[in-house]
Structure 1
Amino acid sequence: MSITQTVSPTNTPPKHEIIFPQGEFWSDEPPLESNLHLTQIILLIKCLEWLWQDRKDYFATGNLTIYYSPNQKKSEFFRGPDFFVVLGTTRNQNRKSWVVWQEDGKYPNVIIEILSDSTAKTDREEKKEIYQDTFRTPDYFWFDPYSLEFQGFTLISGKYQEIKPNENGCLWSEQLGLYLGIYEDKLRYFSPNGELIPTPEEANLQERQQKELALQQQEYERQQKELALQQQEYERQQKELALQQQEYERQQKELALKKIEELTAKLRELGINSD
């Protein structure tokens, strides 16, 4: 999104050349064009950091200058991608900039530019050419947070070839092992299975919801067990009542028979034939 302010060597007298002190290469990027651009860059950084929280072999950042001339002068070109990832390096967050010759000659593996009206042409043309021919960055994407224009390229035989979207409109990054796609008007990562890579906040919310669901499930199972015990107790009581009913009926029959026997005996005493 941003264009690093540089001066062409051909228009700068040699006496005005300023060589950076060795090791003191500070980032020299202009302010981002809008809060929407800032939000998008932060989103890309923190989602990847959450996903790769156990990894120490990469560096991901945004709006940071990349110096790539060993004799870097103020008049020489340098670039500040809106977002980039370097693989096979250290996750050192104290870098003031990315100085290629101090980083074993490593250039970004992935670059994403966030387009704006003032920089879109440069991002689509000049920067694309630099990232292809000088940086040799394998995966290059650009995204417009307003129009939602999204395009990606992968380096094949030294030339950028457009990445074809999948059925969900996502573009595959071989370097990241992830898809990039638009979700709720933001550029987001998706797993190879198409699942949205959450932000740390979303992940915490999901974890909290999962814990709440687990507790609800435990409470449900407890209630089900309690209901089962109550059902068993009810069935036991019903059986007991049935036995009591049977005992009552048996006793009633015995009483009836006893009364008949007593009445028959009295009749016999009176000389009356019960028949």
Structure 2
Amino acid sequence: METYLHLTQIILLLKSLQWLWQDRKDYFAAGNLTIYYSPNQKKSENFRGPDFFVVLGTKWNQKRKSWVVWEEEGKYPNVIIEILSYSTAATDRGEKKQIYQDTFRTPDYFCFDPYTLEFEGFTLISGKYQPIETNEQGCLWSEQLQLYLGIYQDKLRYFTSEGELVPSPEEAASKAENKAIQAENRLIQERQQKELALQENEQLKAKLRELGINPDEM
């Protein structure tokens, strides 16, 4: 872990995905968790700690303290996201990228710099990483997640295939609360309008009676 920006970015990626997939139990997502992948099944060798990764088609178990490949049916991450910094950028774009391509065979790999907002993604084609092209909004498609990734308010965020921002749980709760308040305000306004209409109607009837006209017979 490098800085507060790194921490908040990782938490945002994790919580937003958990909110979106709250009904799914067939994946595992984690931040800054060690992956052990030694062919000799030794935790003292061959390990990496991606900033954020997602494994699909696995058992839901948030109590994992690490990801041990030989204990997880040989599964490696389907998606890895590295949050770059001055001290890690070269490794993330070089040595780690090579490992994720050749050993992990991770289909989707993304790098994001929270300071410069540089963002790039790669997808595995015929065993080699190829750059993912941006769409018109500057987002990159993750075939594994079936989501776009793009920058919104200086943060790396998920977007649906329709381009809608995937909210964090806090954003979703705030939006729901605002909708409830708006609905309540509409009801209050409608009630006030009905009361005003009744008052105006009674006033009109009163004037008609003053003129000797029975409004009930009209």
Amino acid in the other structure paired with 1:133: D
Q: CA deviation at 1:238?
A: 3.4
Q: 1:84 aligns with which of 53, 63, 68?
A: 53
Q: Which residue of the partner structure matches residue 92 of structure 2?
A: 123
Q: How does 1:142-221 map to 2 (within 5 A)?
A: 142-221=111-190
Q: 1:92 to 1:77 in 2, by over 3 A?
A: same
Q: CA deviation at 1:145?
A: 0.8
Q: Which residue of the partner structure matches residue 55 of structure 1?
A: 24
Give aligned-pair identity as a percent: 71
* Distance in 2 (alpha carbons) for counterparts of 1:100 and 1:227: 70
Question: In proportion to residue count, which structure has more strand?
Answer: 2
Q: CA deviation at 1:75?
A: 5.7
Query: What is the SS of the residue equivalent to 1:243?
Result: coil
* Distance in 2 (alpha carbons) for counterparts of 1:92 and 1:44: 18
Structure label with greater radius of gyration: 1
* Distance in 1 (alpha carbons) for counterparts of 2:47 and 2:18: 26
* Distance in 2 (alpha carbons) for counterparts of 1:244 and 1:124: 89
* Distance in 2 (alpha carbons) for counterparts of 1:47 and 1:116: 23
Q: CA deviation at 1:239?
A: 3.1
TM-score (norm 1): 0.74
Q: CA deviation at 1:74?
A: 5.7
Q: CA deviation at 1:244?
A: 4.4
* Distance in 2 (alpha carbons) for counterparts of 1:170 and 1:63: 24
* Distance in 1 (alpha carbons) for counterparts of 2:78 and 2:43: 25
- How many residues end up aligned between the 2 structures? 214
Unaligned runs of 5+ in 2: none
Structure 2 residue 4 is the aligned partner of structure 1 residue 40:
no
Q: 1:68 aligns with which of 18, 33, 37?
A: 37
Q: Which residue of the partner structure matches residue 133 of structure 1?
A: 102
TM-score (norm 2): 0.92
Query: What is the SS of the residue equivalent to 2:144?
Result: coil
Q: Which residue of the partner structure matches residue 105 of structure 1?
A: 74
* Distance in 2 (alpha carbons) for counterparts of 1:53 and 1:75: 35
* Distance in 2 (alpha carbons) for counterparts of 1:157 and 1:240: 90
* Distance in 2 (alpha carbons) for counterparts of 1:115 and 1:244: 83
Amino acid in the other structure paired with 2:136: E
Q: CA deviation at 1:154?
A: 1.2
